[in-house]
Amino acid sequence: MNQELIINNKHYKKAENLESLNMFKGQLYETIVTTQSNDQVKNAAPIGVICKDSNHVVIHLDNCVHTHLNIMENGELIVNITKHPLIFTYSTLGELEEEYFGEFNEFPMIKDSLGFFKAHVVKTIEKKRENDYNNGIGNVVTCEVEDIYISDNNEIVPLNRAMNAVIESLVYYCRFDHKYKDKQDIIWTHMKELNRVCQKVGNEKEKKSMKLIIDKLKENHIYLE
């Protein structure tokens, strides 16, 4: 494997372990996971990734979503490190458009990612997920890291508050369902504060992401007072 890589005119260098991506044992990181079906249909989804050690990660997957189905089908995925708020937003609200995808060894990845790694499943445990918003069956998946690449300009830095606000708002969006009608007031209280933070310290893309989320809720006849 070459030590250097060029994807869509962006240069990457090969790294030895997850610490090179500033991913450390026991920590959870918000990432975009790209997968594809055996029929070569691409998918991207925001997934929290737990760093188990320098060469293994753990992810929790809900049943009946494209990412889960693809990973169960062929056991392959790429974990992408990005700060792009619209990629997080579009991949949560619907399907990510082709323009955001690149390719690594004939597998989809996010073309402008700050770093990424290919991984394959080594262990899967079916587990009931029980919390305030989810009581379904899912899988706890352990993956071994194969190839790690980092952008050669070393742009990997922590997310700011506005980006975190977008991520948290997307979590609440996914939880906002008629099944949790009795929790809507609590969710809206958090959404109002997240929107305030984003409007105060966010850049143009982060504010656009927040507007997309709120507009989507309004389409479902749910309003932010």
Burial class for 74, CB neighbours closer than 10 Å (0-12, 13-18, 19+): middle
Contacts of 40 (CB under 8 A, 6+ apart): none
Helix extents (H) in the chain? 66-74, 85-93, 161-175, 184-201, 204-219
More reliable by pLDDT, 85 or 201? 85
List, for residues 68-103, the tens digit of each pLDDT value: 999 999 999 999 999 899 999 999 999 999 999 999
Positive/negative CA dihedral, 55, 64, 67, 39: positive
pLDDT at residue 142 tops 90:
yes
| pLDDT, position 26 | 85
Over residues 31-44, the mean pLDDT reads 95
More reliable by pLDDT, 152 or 63? 152
| pLDDT, position 153 | 66
More reliable by pLDDT, 208 or 83? 208
| pLDDT, position 130 | 60
In the structure, what pLDDT confidence band is assigned to residue 120 with cuts at 50, 70 and 90?
Answer: very high
Q: Cα–chain-centroid distance for residue 131?
A: 20
In the structure, what pLDDT confidence band is assigned to residue 117 with cuts at 50, 70 and 90?
Answer: very high
More reliable by pLDDT, 88 or 28? 88
In the structure, what pLDDT confidence band is assigned to residue 178 with cuts at 50, 70 and 90?
Answer: low
Bridge partner residues of 8 (DSSP): none
pLDDT at residue 179 tops 60:
no
pTM above 0.85, yes or no: no
Over residues 16-42, the mean pLDDT reads 90
| pLDDT, position 71 | 94
